[in-house]
A and B are shown apart, each in its own frame.
Chain A
């Protein structure tokens, strides 16, 4: 059974850093593209990053490019999101999600809350 469990969310000051983790089970991280999607309070879904399965190529939304880094540790079956230079507008629930057929996001974690505030 595929399971994704995020952790690492916290309250952080503007300009600070945070590292989110997503523990994956039931599949190999290197076989699927993994994504991070966030949702600001009361707002819609925003795709922010993905890492391709076999090659490991990474992609980012413009809103986080240069500040956030996606990575994975296949031995630990974990996906990460390193977030630097955090801003108020980065406040959101952060979800990790795994690709399914046609690059749809077929499996989601429960989310972890990041609050950026002074």
Chain B
């Protein structure tokens, strides 16, 4: 199984900050890396697919990058509505594992 490791597990930030979350896969997953945002009591929402493609309707302050085994989600200027938990997921092979999540707090 491919293990996905996110860091940090949580972070504190302020509105306007630049935030970076990293995700490392235990083996090469090419471009099958996706990012999700989840707010309390809600279903996850796809933010970025295929490493760097922004899902329709997602603000351009979100961006993704990386290759091979190391990937990054960046929020260029944190907004109040961005406080949430973020997950990476690989779909290169089954099981389609998620990272453990990164909680972004005020």
Contact = CB atoms under 8 A, between A and B. Distances in A.
B43 A59 contact: no
Given A102-B32, A104-B49, A106-B55, A50 B96 contact: yes
Interface residues of A, number: 23
Given A101-B50, A108-B43, A45 B94 contact: no
Contacts of A37: 44, 98
B95 A104 contact: no
Nearest to B46: A106
Highest count of chain B CB atoms <10 Å: which of A60, A106, A111? A106
B5 interface: no
Interface residues of B, number: 26
A107 to B, nearest CB: 8
Contacts of A35: 96
Interface in B57-106: 85, 87, 89, 91, 94-101
Interface of B: 1, 31-32, 34, 36, 38, 43-46, 49-50, 53, 55, 85, 87, 89, 91, 94-101
Interface of A: 35, 37, 44-47, 50, 59-62, 95, 100-106, 108-111
14 contacts: A44-B85, A44-B100, A44-B101, A50-B94, A59-B94, A60-B95, A62-B1, A95-B44, A101-B49, A102-B91, A103-B91, A105-B44, A106-B49, A111-B43
